Structure 1
Amino acid sequence: MTVHTFHLAELPPARTSRALLRPPSGTTTPGLEHAECLALMRLGAPTVSPDRLQLRRVAMFAQWRDEDAVERFLDRDPLGRQLAEGWHVRLEFLRRWSRLAALPDLPARAGSWGRDEPVVAVTVARMRLGEVPRFLRWGKPVERLVRDHPGTTLALAAFRPARTISTFSVWRSVREMEEMVHGRSAVEAPDRHAAAMAERRRRDFHHEFATFRFRPVSEHGAWEGRTGIVPV
């Protein structure tokens, strides 16, 4: 059964650079269907800032044939063993909006969910480089909205030069995530996400863009001293 994972770890900058340049693939890693390796960014950080490309902190989002493939990677692969020292969550795919060429076989919807259950959201986008200034203008308020939202237990962004950007957020409930998306949260300027999405529809920032919704299945390790990031 297909499983997705999202990993966070602190690595030497040279190791992160190698992962960005040559991410694992199905050719090198049995059972891996696709992986995105990225350097972390701090949501809402200034555009010109060390926090916008943190080469000591790496994220990997991956799709696997089954959990046995995940275990082999974490146990035997040099990068996998380093990621195993960090934190990761295993995920059950539920829904997608739009599509990535790298993940062509995911259906639009694969399950049902309760509005009060925890949920994980992942976005992956390939930027139009000429649209980056416009994207930052509209995207930074959304970054701060998600970062500071009382419904998230973890929210971050990651980047792979020159044009791939991803966001990852863990939500206490589907309801709180959907309220944020539609601008109905009880927070300051709740319509920031909805406004940015309207602007993207007017003129797209990206060559391709997809949002994925997952049910968290199991959590492993610790991140920045934290465990229990996924609500129970």
Structure 2
Amino acid sequence: MTATSTGTIASFHLIRYADPGAMRYTAFDRPVLARTPGLVFRRLLGSGRGASMSLGADLRRWALLAVWRSERDLDAFLARSPVAARWRHQALERWQVRLAPLASRGSWGGIDPFGPLGAGRSGDADGGPVAVLTRASIRPSRLVAFYRSVPAVDALLREQDGCLASVGVGEWPLARQATFSLWRDAAAVRDFAYRDGAHRRVIGRTRDEGWYSEELFARFAPYGSEGTWDGTDPLGPLGPLGRADPLGPAAGPPP
């Protein structure tokens, strides 16, 4: 799926390595990303085994969520960064998507990295695919209740009509978790969020019982998807790729 965007954009990258020891790359990548021109917000994220936030970790699969000052900065990162070069050389599988922010509420580390970007654009994705990011810092006293609710939400996501793909990711084991999901359209997102009784009950409990010390919900118009996620591009059926591999020739030997 391809398109173009102007102004600030976000991107999500899902990388699978052969070696469970790939978690060591998070230490190497943080200072590199901190020096990347045009990268205004980034989070390196571990991956769960479920469709949503979960206890099980997949030590071979890692994610990067990034916000860029411009599309040109993202292109430069993919072409020249040693992080992207390693993805090309060492990843068994990689998938990425460019994201135009539509709407956001809440905060991540005390800021909302998307909110001002989506002003006035909340209806842009009504006729096309939608990406959703939900992220929460879970209060220690609510961890047991939270993780008891996860299997039911996981099952709902897997069975939900209109959900193209979903993965649980997180910064810290257990307490700082997120879900990144892709949907056929905005109507499918609304149907999942508000019409299913089990999901609505979980949402109600998070509010009534104060499960989260911080949370963020963001919605995007995805475009420019590349690569595969569990063997396929979940956005592929919605349009041809039609782009050269943005990772391009390696900028040198991988670190």
Q: Report TM bin, short chain.
A: 0.7 to 0.9
| TM-score for both structures, normalised by structure 2 | 0.78
- State the structure with bigger RCO (CA 8 A, min sep 6), 1 or 2: 2
Spell out the pairing of 1:79-228 with structure 2 (5 A cutoff). 79-83=83-87, 86-100=94-108, 101-104=110-113, 106-107=115-116, 109-111=119-121, 112-113=123-124, 115-162=126-173, 163-183=175-195, 190-228=196-234
CA distance in 1, matches of 2:29, 2:199: 33
2:253 matched to which residue of 1?
none
CA distance in 2, matches of 1:21, 1:133: 33
Closer/same/farther in 2, CA of residues 128 and 66 from structure 1, 3 Å limit: same
Question: Matched residue of 2:30: which SS?
Answer: coil
2:75 matched to which residue of 1?
71
In 1, are the aligned partners of 2:9 and 2:68 still within 8 Å (CA)? yes
In 2, are the aligned partners of 1:44 and 1:141 still within 8 Å (CA)? no
1:41 matched to 2:48: yes
Identity %: 25
Code of the residue aligned with 1:177 in structure 2: it is V
Q: How far does residue 46 in structure 1 lie from its aligned partner after superposition?
A: 11
CA distance in 2, matches of 1:197, 1:109: 25
1:7 matched to which residue of 2?
13
Question: Matched residue of 1:87: which SS?
Answer: strand
Choose 3-12 or 24-33, whichever is displaced more.
Answer: 24-33
Q: How far does residue 191 in structure 1 lie from its aligned partner after superposition?
A: 1.5
Code of the residue aligned with 1:2 in structure 2: it is T
Code of the residue aligned with 2:187 in structure 1: it is R
RMSD over equivalenced CA pairs, Å = 2.5
Q: How far does residue 215 in structure 1 lie from its aligned partner after superposition?
A: 0.4
In 2, are the aligned partners of 1:118 and 1:172 still within 8 Å (CA)? yes
2:249 matched to which residue of 1?
none
Where structure 1 has 5 or more consecutive residues not aligned to the other structure, the ranges are: 184-189
1:56 matched to 2:63: no
Q: How far does residue 143 in structure 1 lie from its aligned partner after superposition?
A: 2.1
Q: How far does residue 61 in structure 1 lie from its aligned partner after superposition?
A: 1.1
Code of the residue aligned with 2:104 in structure 1: it is R
Alignment coverage as a number of residue pairs: 223
In 2, are the aligned partners of 1:34 and 1:102 still within 8 Å (CA)? no
1:187 matched to which residue of 2?
none
Q: How far does residue 21 in structure 1 lie from its aligned partner after superposition?
A: 8.3
Closer/same/farther in 2, CA of residues 94 and 114 from structure 1, 3 Å limit: closer
